[in-house]
Structure 1
Amino acid sequence: MASSVNRWLRPEVYPLFAAVGVAVGICGFQLVRNICINPEVRVSKETRTAGVLENFAEGEKYAEHTLRKFVRNRTPEIMPSINNFFTNQK
């Protein structure tokens, strides 16, 4: 047991654990978000019997969330200041 712990808990594998942890966190967030607020997901029996609902306002509210509204009119750049430094030579 001690040899397997020493094999996997080295400082070299901490980034791997961090990356896997972030991926699991993102998946968990998306699952909870879909179960809680997605208008097409129905968990309780009462809402499942309703069938297909034509509720476009609720669907648009779900699709047009705050992050999407925030990045809609921005340029798709990761580091705009560095891009401007190298492209806009004075």
Structure 2
Amino acid sequence: MASTTASRWLRPEVYPLFAAVGVAVGICGLQLYRNIRINPEVRVNKQNRAAGVLENHQEGEKYSEHGLRKFVRNKTPEIMPSLNRFFTEPK
């Protein structure tokens, strides 16, 4: 039974699927870690939970305006801009 399962799932054709699922799980894990560590609305220990709702707008702004968002703010939402320009702009 184990040899048939291994021969079915451990083929070279399945490696890209494993890679894609691994990247997706990694992204989810990083987002979970980021939320637990630095999200101002998530309180893990008992002392912080007892504080109730905090009106700390500076901390919330710092959390939501992270480096990636600042980097892509003024960029056009294109994956391949040169290819898009090739097909859309007339010569």
Letter matched to residue 67 of structure 2: T
- Determine the C-alpha separation between the residues in 1 that align with 2:63 and 2:56: 11
Equivalent residue, structure 2, for 1:8? 9
State how far apart, in whole Å, the 2-side matches of 1:5 and 1:82 are. 41
Give the alignment of 1:39-78 within 5 angstroms: 39-78=40-79
Query: TM-score scaled by structure 2?
Result: 0.94
Match of 1:25 in 2: 26
Query: Are 1:34 and 2:32 counterparts?
Result: no
Normalised to the residue count of structure 1, the TM-score between the two structures is 0.95
| Cα distance in 1 for residues equivalent to 2:24 and 2:15 | 14
Query: What amino acid does structure 1 have at the position aligned with 2:84?
Result: N
TM-superposed CA distance for 1:86, in Å, is 1.6
Deviation, structure 1 residue 89: 2.5
Identical residues among aligned pairs (%): 76
What code does the residue aligned with 1:38 have?
N
Aligned length: 90
Q: How big is the shift at 1:76? A: 0.8
Structure 1 residues not aligned, in runs of 5+: none
Query: Partner letter of residue 29 of structure 1?
Result: L
Aligned-residue Cα RMSD (Å) equals 0.9
Structure 1 segments of 4+ aligned residues over 4 angstroms from their partners: none
